[in-house]
Amino acid sequence: MGTITSSVGLISGLPIGDIVDQLMAIEARPRDLVVSQMNTLDKEKAAWLDLSARLLALKTAASSFNDIESFQAVAATSSNTSVLTASADTGAAVGNYAFTPVRLMTSHQVITTGRPDSDTTPVGAGTITVEFGNGNLDRATSLDFLNTQVGVSRGSIKITDRAGGAATIDLTSAMDLNDVLDAINSAAGISVTASTSGDGLVLTDTSGGTGTLSVAEVNGGGTAADLGILGSAAGDTLTGGDLVKLNADTSLRQLNDGNGIRTASGNDLQITLEDGTVLKVNLTSATTLGQVLSSINNATGNGGKLTAALDATGTRIVLTDSTGGGSGPLTVTAVGSSKAAFDLGLLASDGDADHVITGGRLTAGLDSVLLRNLNGTTGVTGGSISITASGGSETIDLTNAQSLDDVLAAINGAGISGLTASLNASRNGLLLTDSGGGPLTVSDVSGTLADQLHIAATSSSGSIASGNLQLRYISENSRLDDLDIARGKFKITDSDGRSATVDLTQGNETTLADVISEINSRGIGVTASINTNGDGLLLTDTAGGAGRLTVYESGSSTAADLGILGSDDDGDGTIDGSLEVTIDVDATDTLSDLADKINAASSRLSAFVLNDGTATNPYRLAVSSQIGGTAGRMIIDMGGVSLGFSDMVRPQDALLFLGDPSNPNSIAIRSTTNSFSNVIEGVTLNAVGTSSTPVQVSVTTTVDALIKRVNDFVSKFNDTADRIGQLNSYNADAGTRGVLQGEGLLSRIQSAIFTMITGSVTDAPGQYNRLSQVGFSVTDNGTHISFNEEKFRQAFATAPSAVSGLFTHAKTGIGDRIESALDAFTDNISGAIVTQTDNIADRRQVLSSRADQLQTLLDSKRARLTAQFAAMEAALAQLQGQQSALSGFSSALSIAQSSGVSGLFG
């Protein structure tokens, strides 16, 4: 049977494949025409999409034209960037300012005494604790707090000792009393020691001279008078006047050792008068001491029966009952969970029937703390104590003691020879020392004050230490910003498996009270409060389940910052977020081991061992606070570990003056970093050095960024215009045309974008109503636009609001006009280009269906032609076979005849 091999017939030898292809090419012309039309539509659609993308890019480039903030941009420059840099945000206050950076921030760094090695000799077992910032009992009093919060005039003072030595002491940069004391005590040329006592300063002459100890002003200033030490003394001691006094404007946040007043929703105080009248006082909205007094005096039912006022010293509230009734004593009690009565020192009853309650001190004396804030939230109450030492024995009445300074002063003034009461080396507790070697005994006579202060003991060595008195420095009023708490989210799961997310990103969380409220409102078995030591947050599980109370982060560091990240590992149902860092030191731990433990204990601490190169004991442990400035001051209690720390770098805040520091009217600003934000609204200043002269900071409006955006817009506009020209081009010589040549929509787009530039703004709010007036022009025979930057700057300098209005005026401004014009073409639902591409897609779909139909017919024809050629080859093969048979018969006949065998055929 004949076949077709490859594309050539075996029998016929014809190029059957080529013949079929040629025949099908003729037949395929209708289909090819349809496919060509489809390809043309694809190119048109691609061109429209490309143009749409360019128009959208143009719209994006013009987006700032409709934003008024783009025309309010400012720039800040510094006249001396080697000491002060400046940056400004949109809307910053424009002007020229003088700043003087006089001090950079330093972080607290301490170092131990030397040891012979770092990894062999144990340092001794014990428990080291570290607190930050406010855990010390001698916190420096800010000068701003003195003199009814008027503060102290900056300037210099002159001190002359009794031997005639004199020194001028510059207190211009002093921010707190420690700065004042340090400056006086380190002054060369005089033998005078400055200290605090109660509410004032004391200068003690140690020169041995017989003249007059005196303090005078310098250059007519008022610094000495404001410090209460202006004047002279014939003896060795000059006692200054009282500096601590409150008034009606005193903020409640400044009271109670900075813990403020803890109020509750609703009423806070219940005052029962002698005639039985009951007053309920709500202090929820009070922010000043005057508002507290007003709330009491104007309480419902008072009507002048009770008067609340400050006492003569300006440190206590006095309640005076004028009813004269006989129902009972004047009494103040707390209402509900409010602790306002306690914090105001008013939780009392008139025990002596004088119709008066004189409250406790609202603030401690200079550089001291209130007894009621010791032992955490428990406090210390007054009483009488007995002290027996080698130099004598005395009973000391501390019934009316209010501050720790009262206790120290009473003990030191008791007349017991050789006995000294002071703060311990860690500044977090008391130390009683008998220079005679003891024995030393302290006991309570009435009350439990000695026991509460942890000094009720007998020591054969003549020394009694209280240990950490746990000053309460964290309260519900503590601000999250002061504690460096990130605003984020965390999840709490109670022991019963119920979970809730606590969200501190809502914008209204400013204090720990807000955090506590948010946690307690979550509806799970967990209660938040301040811990008993008053140094952190406490979570208490009330669910009673078999699981563990656990706190997880939710994409922030908030739980860790609050100290509550983790689980109730000891199974007591609580997580204590104490800010105190605890390091347990084992008996075998070396200096290197201790460094590792400190680093693992808190990210706020960094420890390392250094070798100072000395021949003996060269190894020292250095510990640095990772919190800047005074907020990062470390209060380190060695807890039995045989190492002694001393300051290597003292912590200090950065200090910046608005103006010249020599001018007493200049304003001092401090920061725990070297960055100062919003001293000028919208401006950030960064101190990188110090200067004795002011640095000029200029905040000016700038159009640099806007001009950059305008140039970008012009570039994209011309790019779009060029592309439109290409798509609409026609070259008669070459016989070529653009993909969209002759399209009406393309011409409309071209006309619209140029109209955006050349049209006028109706109701323009200023003197400009055309872009040509501010530097725009059409060039290159109407095919491009250009921008004259200098003309724009001149126009903006002349009338900035008019230029801004030209672009940003509602509906008719350039910004709105460009957006509206381009949206008409690029809107992804109703835009003209979308409509055009949808029509193209519809037409292409019709053509695609037609092409598919034609292809089906072509496939059928090809199959038919191929079958026909195959049949022809088969027929030829059959004919060829018959021809071969006949040829064979003829050959046989010829052989027979030649052999004489003819009978067979004849």
| Bridge partner list, 310 | 317
pTM for this one?
0.77
Residues 630 and 651: beta-carbon distance below 8 Å: yes
% of the chain beyond a pLDDT of 70: 98
Burial class (CB in 10 A: 0-12, 13-18, 19+), 692: exposed
Q: pLDDT digit string (tens) for 776-817?
A: 999 999 999 999 999 999 999 899 889 988 988 877 788 888
Interval 318-359: pLDDT, tens = 999 999 877 789 999 999 999 999 999 999 999 778 899 999
Contact (CB, 8 A) for 632 and 107 = yes
DSSP string, 657-712: EES-TTSTTSEEEEESSSEEESSSTTEEEEE-S--SS-EEEEEEE--HHHHHHHHH
Spatial separation of the C-alpha atoms in residues 410 and 10, rounded to whole Å: 131
Phi, psi at 8, each rounded to 5°: -120, 130
Predicted confidence band of residue 6 (pLDDT cuts 50, 70, 90): low
Q: Do residues 551 and 562 make contact, with C-beta atoms less than 8 angstroms apart?
A: no
pLDDT in tens, 623-670: 999 999 998 999 999 888 888 889 999 999 999 999 999 888 899 999
Task: Give yes or no for residue 733 having a pLDDT over 90.
Answer: no
Q: Predicted confidence band at 875 (pLDDT cuts at 50, 70, 90)?
A: confident
Q: Which of 47-51, 81-85, 89-93, 606-610 has the lowest mean pLDDT?
A: 89-93
Per-residue model confidence as pLDDT tens digits over 162-188 = 999 999 999 999 999 999 999 999 999
Joined tokens for residue 722: 């060029």
Per-residue pLDDT tens for 675-699? Answer: 999 899 999 999 999 999 999 999 9
Chain centroid offset of residue 764 CA: 42
Phi and psi angles of residue 42, each rounded to the nearest 5 degrees, phi first: -60, -45
**Tokens 């340090």 correspond to what residue?**
182
CA distance to 136, 295, 633, 639, per residue, from 130 (Å): 11, 41, 10, 10
Encode pLDDT of 28-71 as tens digits.
899 889 999 999 899 999 999 999 999 999 998 888 888 888 88
Backbone φ and ψ of 891, nearest 5°: -65, -40
What are the respective helix, strand and coil percentages of the chain, to the nearest 5?
A: 30, 25, 45
Contacts of 561 (CB under 8 A, 6+ apart): 483, 484, 485, 486
Q: Judge whether 458 and 421 are in contact, CB under 8 Å.
A: no
Alpha-carbon gap, residue 54 to 51, rounded angstroms: 5
The sign of the torsion formed by the CA atoms of 675, 676, 682, 688 equals negative
Look at residue 906 in the predicted model and tell me its pLDDT: 44
Alpha carbons 203 and 214: distance in angstroms, whole number: 10
pLDDT at 900: 59
Residue 1 scores a pLDDT above 50: no
Instruction: Quickly tell me which residue has 């809502």 as its tokens.
Output: 506
CB contact at 8 A, 123 and 594: yes
Distances (CA, A) of 373 to 618, 818, 887: 42, 66, 134
Entry field: residues in the chain: 906
Residue 860: exposed, middle, or buried by beta-carbon count in 10 A (0-12, 13-18, 19+)? exposed
pLDDT in tens, 486-540: 999 999 999 999 999 999 999 888 999 999 999 999 999 999 999 999 999 999 9
Can you give the pLDDT at residue 877? Answer: 83
Q: Which residues neighbour 525 within 8 Å (Cβ) at sequence distance 6 or greater?
A: 494, 495, 496, 498, 541, 542, 543, 544, 545
- Is-contact 194 226, C-beta < 8 A? no
